[in-house]
Amino acid sequence: MKKLWGGRFSKQPEEWVDEFGASISFDQQLASQDIKGSLAHAKMLFQCKIIDESAYENIKNGLLSLQSDVEEEELTYSVKYEDIHLNLEKLLTDKIGPDGGKLHTARSRNDQVATDFHLYVKEETLLIIAHIEELQKSLLHLAEEHVETIIPGYTHLQRAQPVSFAHHLLAYFWMLDRDKGRLQDSLKRSDIMPLGAGALAGTTFEIDRNITMNELGFRDKYLNSLDAVSDRDFAIECCSNASMIMMHLSRFCEELILWSSEEFGFIEISDSFTTGSSMMPQKKNPDMAELIRGKSGRVYGSLISLLTLMKGLPLAYNKDMQEDKEPVFDTVKTVKGCLSIMTGMMNEVIIHVDKMNKAVHQDFSNATELADYLAKKGIPFREAHELVGDMVLQCIQKECYLLDVTLEEYQEWCPLVENDLFEALSPKTAVERRNSEGGTGFEAVRQQIDAAQLKMAVSNN
């Protein structure tokens, strides 16, 4: 079988070499983008009088028919034709005859593949943003219900100060919001058209890149043909943004895993997102959360693959760059899957408010309250800190908590203590009063929810 580029060759590569060089097994994912790019290119060729109307109509109808074949999954590709671009060109020519061969005028596979890949990354970026928004909505919804639910807040994974559960959830809302912002920003760089760059140097044909740019809905076009075909920054950026999302999700999953353990007991992950053990009948394993945490590894791996792939590559196109697609495809699939699972899991999670409440009553996370109380009575904070440390130690020795100490005992320890101390020491008061901007106080959290809702509404306009 003669290659589409076979003119210069006197010997055919062997099958196993073809197999090694081919990308059709994975780049067939770009079929729709490739057809879209070809339709725009053909239209431009016609409008610029590079091909005549009958050739254009013929090509256009052939491409549209190929597009429906793609949708119906009716096409059979061959490694003989290496990649999706050559396969589709061959299928087109089989359908419409020699006019199919005119499509590739003033175009190279180098600007073609770059265009397809930009279209793909751009479309998928918008889909990932939509997935993020679904998760944000779910978190906001849960936060609204749990402004006054209190959980221990941790530093170093040691109980620190009690916080509103909504406040904790909203921290993830804002992380996701930054992820969304990064993706939106990256569109400035992926939404640029390489088409028209030719193999590397442009073309002698009098093409009009504005026609293809408008036809394909690109915001801008590359202004240097070498850069256009060499650039894979947009793909790397996609993997980098996805890595950040996965890092965030892995932290969230880690907390869900901890919280759903017997030791914490704060939440229960719905049956739909957990599995049992084949041996231990009592088990309910947080598999989905663990998998998301684990999948961050492959996404980071893809980012490193791409960075390493592009490192030191001379301009312009090099066959190495065929290796750019699988890491991005895998990343996009993984990150969308993880975001959906996460949303489903959050929509169904069961919150054990009683357990959370019990937890905040069985620790010393109100010790700061006691120190603040003394400081407000005029004792320098450092001294108050020292005094409270001593009281905590006494309690540990007596196996009780700060709220179990009587007024008399407190007054003996520090005569400034009055009966209002007990109110100040309750975890609810501790949380309720922290209304500094961005703090965990109920009022501050309600304001935060309003701000989050506003942010969502604005970004949807």
Residues contributing to the site for ligand ARG (CB under 6 A): 23, 27, 83, 109-110, 113, 317, 319, 321-322
The residue among 88 and 289 lying less far from ligand ARG, judged by its C-beta, is 88
The residue among 159 and 232 lying less far from ligand ARG, judged by its C-beta, is 232
CA distances 426 to 264, 362, 381, Å, are: 21, 11, 20
- Which helix (H) or strand (E) covers residue 240, if one does? helix 233-259
Residue pair 113/29 in contact (Cβ under 8 Å)? The answer is: no
The residue among 109 and 131 lying less far from ligand ARG, judged by its C-beta, is 109
Q: Is 161 helix (H, G, I), strand (E, B) or coil?
A: strand
- Taking the complex as a whole, the smallest distance from the CB of residue 81 to ligand ARG amounts, in Å, to 10
The residue among 46 and 117 lying less far from ligand ARG, judged by its C-beta, is 117
The residue among 83 and 179 lying less far from ligand ARG, judged by its C-beta, is 83
Asked whether the CA dihedral 111, 116, 122, 124 is positive or negative, the reply is negative
- Tell how strand 192-193 and strand 220-221 pair up: parallel
Q: Report the C-alpha gap between 459 and 454 in whole angstroms.
A: 9
What count of other Cβ atoms lies within 10 Å of the Cβ of residue 299? 25
Q: Is 361 a catalytic residue?
A: no
- Taking the complex as a whole, the smallest distance from the CB of residue 29 to ligand ARG amounts, in Å, to 11
The residue among 36 and 159 lying less far from ligand ARG, judged by its C-beta, is 36
Residue pair 177/167 in contact (Cβ under 8 Å)? The answer is: no
Number of H helices, E strands in the chain: 19, 6
- Taking the complex as a whole, the smallest distance from the CB of residue 38 to ligand ARG amounts, in Å, to 14
Asked whether the CA dihedral 228, 231, 326, 176 is positive or negative, the reply is negative
**Token pair listed for 76:** 């059979």
Q: Report the C-alpha gap between 151 and 258 in whole angstroms.
A: 13
Interhelix angle for 367-376 vs 381-398, to 10°? Answer: 140
Q: Give Rg (Cα) of the chain.
A: 31
Candidate list 156, 168, 186, 365, residue with the active-site label: 156
Helices (H), 311-352: 325-348
Residue pair 265/352 in contact (Cβ under 8 Å)? The answer is: yes
- Taking the complex as a whole, the smallest distance from the CB of residue 79 to ligand ARG amounts, in Å, to 12
Q: Give the bridge partners for 221, in sequence order.
A: 193
- Taking the complex as a whole, the smallest distance from the CB of residue 324 to ligand ARG amounts, in Å, to 7
**Token pair listed for 99:** 């006019």
- Residue at 102: amino acid letter: K
- Taking the complex as a whole, the smallest distance from the CB of residue 202 to ligand ARG amounts, in Å, to 16
- Taking the complex as a whole, the smallest distance from the CB of residue 449 to ligand ARG amounts, in Å, to 46
Residue position matching structure tokens 């312009």:
316
Q: Is 305 a catalytic residue?
A: no
The residue among 235 and 374 lying less far from ligand ARG, judged by its C-beta, is 235
Candidate list 25, 261, 272, 277, residue with the active-site label: 277
Which residues are tagged catalytic?
Answer: 156, 277
